[in-house]
Structure 1
Amino acid sequence: MKPSRLILALPPLLALSACLDGGDEPRPAVRMEMYGARGDTLVAVVERHDCEREAEVVWTDGAGVVLGRGDSLQDPIPEQPVTATASCDGAKQSRVLDRRRVYATSSAFAILREDSSVVAWGHPYWGGDPAKASASLTGVARIAASERAFAALKDDGSVVTWGSSLAGGDATEAGAELSDVVDILPGRLAFLARKRDGSSTSWGSARVLFDGDGATFSASSGMSAELVGQVRQVRDWVSNDSAFAVLDSTGNVQTWGDQDVVGDVDLTQLTGVRQLVGNRTDFAVLHADGTAYAWGAGFGGYPDKSVSENLTDIKKLYAGGLAFAALKHDGTVFSWGADGIADYGNDAGAAAEELTQVRTIYTNQVAFAALKQDGSVVSWGDAGRGDSGYLAIKSQLTKIRSVAATETAFAALRQDGSVLSWGEAERGGDSSKVAERLTGVVALYANDHAFAALKRDGSVVSWGVPAEGGDSSAVAAQLADIRAIYSSAYGGFLAVRRDGSYVSWGGRYAGGDSGAVAGKLKRIPFYKTSKAGEPRSPAF
């Protein structure tokens, strides 16, 4: 499952009406509003008046530890409240965002309610129907989601699962091992639980890559007693179509699964690792010395000698559908993968000369988009889909703040709040029908098929496949005062208002219709509220 991606931007500051002290002298004043889905990018939009300097925003956790400074923050602690405080010339205002409460598989949403119980809806077999587990869904601390199942970690360290048994919805195979759990890491069709004693256990499945009948195997079946002993203090794990890999705290990687994927791995390359990534069929690691190594089925990233020679001085790795991209310390980029399918993001080709001074890279299933330090964008990949239309708007891709992606299209948010898109037209690459409404945008969201733009006034504009979230006209009147939008990959959107009320749209079997839980779920808190029901904001 390709997780959905959230991108936010700030419009220019607006002036407040005069704030007078004693009716004579104006005094500095600031007002702040916040946007963003927990677990993604959070943003504070600040209005100021009579301040000699720009307002400063400081983000802190519940203990007052500073998490970051500036108008936006990549959420580092989604399961905890976060406070943003804006100040200028002695004037201050704070807002406290509630912890994360929305989780999604590819086709369903699950909400962790304020009483620590759970409500879910969407595809009944892929996480939307927790009826068989509902009696156990109390005292829940957090939820993890694979492509088609949920796993809830309870306060007592036990785990409750529901959804497709082939995707981790049935943890029977893990049995008594699922106790004293401290964290759950989701994979494509599986989960890995980290326990208090440093050990780990996994459940779910993967597919036999070259089996025409679609055979699967258990995530735990390849974990020999020796491997179980080696998989300790797990820092990260990747589960793709046919195999698994874990990175431990010492920088060692263990991998298991379909032998066509992991059978030829060079074990000497799986030490001294600081980053582990995976695409649909392959894995790649970034070593502490800046070199990289990849292994797998070879469809999307098994490098030959000529590729390996270029995998040096790397800062970060990015995984696409069937390819990888390496961002080097000097700001250049090298990509490889999709043997025999050069379009799929493999080899930047004509774009290579422009790939300098790159700040970050965005991916979808068929292409890459690099955001440069100067705010311009370079895109390459499948010319017929992910890269379609790029050349026509290339000259306009300036002053870009961020980029969002559906499965085969990109959308870029500019500093002035306007939006440009390219890629497969049906899946959001063509935004011409809503272009006039794409102004004042502060955030972009996407599922695999459609985009949703959140405007500063709290309204929403969507485009892409109509039935999968691209057409929100049926709920347009309800899309007011929105502060965050969440998505399910296969075509659902869920919007949360400032007061915690919510509205969904998109595919019925992708979580786009929340009517079935309307009586059980009244609100999804956005702000952490006081007893009076108002957002917590200390008076200064």
Structure 2
Amino acid sequence: MPIRVYVGLLSGKSASLLTDPESQVELLRRQAQAELETHLSHLVLSGGEVLWPSSTLENAGVTDGAELVGIVRPAALANGDTALAFLAEDGRVVAWGDPRGGGDFWSVREHLHSCQQIQASYGAFAAIRDDGRVITWGNPDTGADSSGVQDQLYDIFQLAATCEAFAALRLDGTVVAWGSFEDGGDCDVLRDQLHDVRCISAADFAFAAVCRDGSVVTWGNELFGGDSSAVQHRLRKVRCIQCTARAFAAILEDGSVVTWGSEEEGGDSRAVQDQLWQVRAIQATSVSFAAIREDGRVVTWGDEKFG
């Protein structure tokens, strides 16, 4: 049975929408965006909780008569190694810089409208449009050539990028990857594991996907985070993941932390493991991590010279 949901903006403008409780949050976002004629990044419950795009409205706790807040998507900038791309508030994208590194976008310019997210590898860019399709351009060797997976690039709501590869998350929880195989551009062998994925994180050479059950799937360069087999038994009930250039750190639901990847750049936290409890959040430089605990204390590890 359809339900009526109200989506309002901080400006006071609002929309009344009729939808199905089994419909996904992302579809409601698109519906609200069209009705409000404003590009939205997220929908938020009145209590402040951000709704996850792939969740159904029912699972997200959205009931008949619910009042949600639409967060207006700000302009965004993505930087490759030698070029930049700008996503304007109206959804248009422009790029400039080294033509070979993504600065030349003229061949796809007519498709770069109504975009909601952009991501950059070292030499290529990828943009998600509001219809869930993905547009790529730049150096084919660093992920600009998505022709081999273009038929799979639909209903996309998140992009992540390593130096030379991209990964896209679909509303059905599956993942599509392309670009350099060595840097994560191929995840076909993990297809049976990459389902019900909640989000994807990317270091420079590897990807890590967190599934709805809290497990983690990794792929890419095995030395720099693509191989998590040594800690896989501990990667349960993962809340979120942060990364340096070549290592990952996962916060579990109990506040403990699991790390893997390059030991010199944060992948080895054994020296501070007894201090990594009740961790609230983690931030990273390219070579080190800093974790803040519930008691306000900060724990650091990685390259001693840089953090």
CA contact under 8 A between 1:343 and 1:383: conserved in structure 2? Answer: no
Alignment of 1:115-514 (within 5 A): 275-286=76-87, 290-303=91-104, 305-338=106-139, 342-387=140-185, 390-489=187-286, 491-511=287-307
Indicate the structure whose relative CO is greater, using CA pairs within 8 Å and at least 6 residues apart. 1
What's the CA shift for 1:448?
A: 0.6
1:385 to partner: Cα distance = 1.8
Secondary structure, counterpart of 2:190 in structure 1: helix
Note the alpha carbon deviations across 1:469-524, whole angstroms, 9 max, x for none.
Answer: 111112222212222112111x111112111123211111121xxxxxxxxxxxxx
Q: 1:57 to 1:298 in 2, by over 3 A?
A: closer
Quote the Cα distance in structure 1 between the aligned partners of 2:105 and 2:264.
42
TM-score by length of 1: 0.42
Distance across 2 between alignment mates of 1:478 and 1:350: 46
Whether the aligned pair in 2 keeps the contact of 1:494 and 1:504 (CA below 8 Å) is yes
1:58·1:70 contact (CA, 8 Å) conserved in 2? no
Counterpart of 1:285, as a letter, is F
What is the aligned partner in structure 2 of residue 193 from structure 1? Answer: none
SS of residue in 1 equivalent to 2:96:
strand
CA contact (8 A) 2:164 2:179 kept: yes
Please tell me whether the aligned partners of residues 162 and 183 of structure 2 are also in contact (alpha carbons under 8 angstroms): no
Residues in 2 aligned to 1:451 and 1:473: alpha-carbon distance in whole angstroms: 14
Instruction: Report the alpha carbon displacement of residue 290 of structure 1 after superposing the two structures with TM.
Output: 4.8
User: Unaligned stretches of 5+ in structure 1?
Assistant: 1-55, 60-67, 73-235, 237-273, 512-540
Answer whether contact 1:334 1:347 (CA < 8 A) is retained.
Answer: no
Distance 2:272 2:303 in 1: 13
SS at match of 1:477: helix
Aligned runs of 1:69-108 on 2, under 5 Å?
69-70=49-50
Q: Identity over the aligned pairs, expressed in percent?
A: 40
- The structural deviation recorded for 1:283 is 2.3
Letter in 2 for 1:375: G
**Greater gyration radius:** 1
User: Separation in 2 of the partners of 1:395 and 1:473?
Assistant: 32
Match of 2:37 in 1: none
**Distance in structure 2 (CA, Å) of the matches to 1:57 and 1:304:** 38
State the 1:405 CA deviation.
1.2
Matched-pair contact (CA < 8 Å) for 1:387–1:409 = no
Whether the aligned pair in 1 keeps the contact of 2:143 and 2:164 (CA below 8 Å) is: yes
The 1:315/1:384 distance shift into structure 2, 3 A limit, reads same
* C-alpha contact 2:105 2:137 (8 A) present in aligned 1: no
Partner of 2:100, secondary structure, is: coil
Question: What do residues 296-319 of structure 1 show as CA deviations (whole Å, max 9, x unaligned)?
Answer: 111311336533344344333322
* TM-fit CA distance, 1:444: 0.8
Please give the secondary structure, in 2, of the residue aligned with 1:486.
strand
Residue ranges of structure 2 left out of the alignment (5+ in a row) = 1-43, 53-73
Q: Give the aligned residue type for 2:103.
A: Y
Give the superposition deviation at 1:423. 1.0
